[in-house]
Structure 1
Amino acid sequence: MQMSPNDARTIAQAGMAALKGGDPGSARASFERVLAGGVADASVQLGLAYACLALQDQGGALVAVDAALRLEPGNVQALLFKADRMDQAGDARAASMFYRAAIGAAPNPAQLPRELQQELARAQAMCERYAQQFDAHLREQMARACADLGAESRRFTESLDLLSGSKQIYYQQPKVYYFPGLAQNQFFDPGQFAWLERLEAATDAIREELLAILDEGAPFEPYVQSQSNRPSKRQDGLVNNPAWSAFHLWRNGEAVRENAERCPKTMAALAEVPLTRLKGRSPSIMFSLLRPGTHIPPHHGLINTRLICHLPLIVPPGCALRVGNETRECEVGKAWVFDDTIEHEAWNRSDQTRVVLLFEIWRPELSLAEREMVSAMFDVIDQYQGGRGEWSI
Structure 2
Amino acid sequence: MKTGRRLLVSVDRFIARHSRVGDPTFFDPAEFAWVSPLEAEWQAIRTELDDILRERDALPNFQDISQDQARISQDDRWKTFFFYGYGYRMDDNCARCPQTTRLIESVPGMTTAFFSILAPGKHIPPHRGPYKGVMRYHLGLRVPEPRERCRIRVGDDTGYWREGGSLLFDDTYEHEVWNDTDGVRVVLFLDVMRPMRFPGALVNRLVFNLIRLSPYVQRARRNQQRWSQR
**Equivalent pair of 2:15/2:200 in contact (CA under 8 Å):** no
Matched, 1:350 2:185: no
Which residues in structure 2 correspond to 1:1-393 (within 5 Å)? 97=1, 131=3, 163=7, 179-181=15-17, 182=19, 183-217=22-56, 219-225=58-64, 233-235=70-72, 238-239=73-74, 241-276=75-110, 283-317=111-145, 318-364=149-195, 366-367=196-197, 370-379=200-209, 387-388=214-215, 390=217
**Which has the larger strand fraction?**
2
So what's the TM-score if we normalise by structure 1?
0.48
What amino acid sits opposite 1:269 in the alignment? L
What amino acid sits opposite 2:118 in the alignment? L
Distance apart, 1:284 and its partner CA: 1.6
**Equivalent pair of 2:14/2:200 in contact (CA under 8 Å):** no
Partner in structure 2 of residue 85 of structure 1: none
Q: Structure 1: 5+ residue runs without aligned partners? A: 1-96, 98-126, 135-159, 277-282
> Greater relative contact order (Cα 8 A, min sep 6): structure 1 or 2?
2
Q: Structure 2: 5+ residue runs without aligned partners? A: 221-230
Cα distance in 1 for residues equivalent to 2:94 and 2:169:
24
Percentage of pairs with the same residue: 33
Q: 1:314 to 1:233 in 2, by over 3 A?
A: closer
So what's the TM-score if we normalise by structure 2?
0.79
Distance apart, 1:328 and its partner CA: 2.1
**Equivalent pair of 2:119/2:185 in contact (CA under 8 Å):** yes
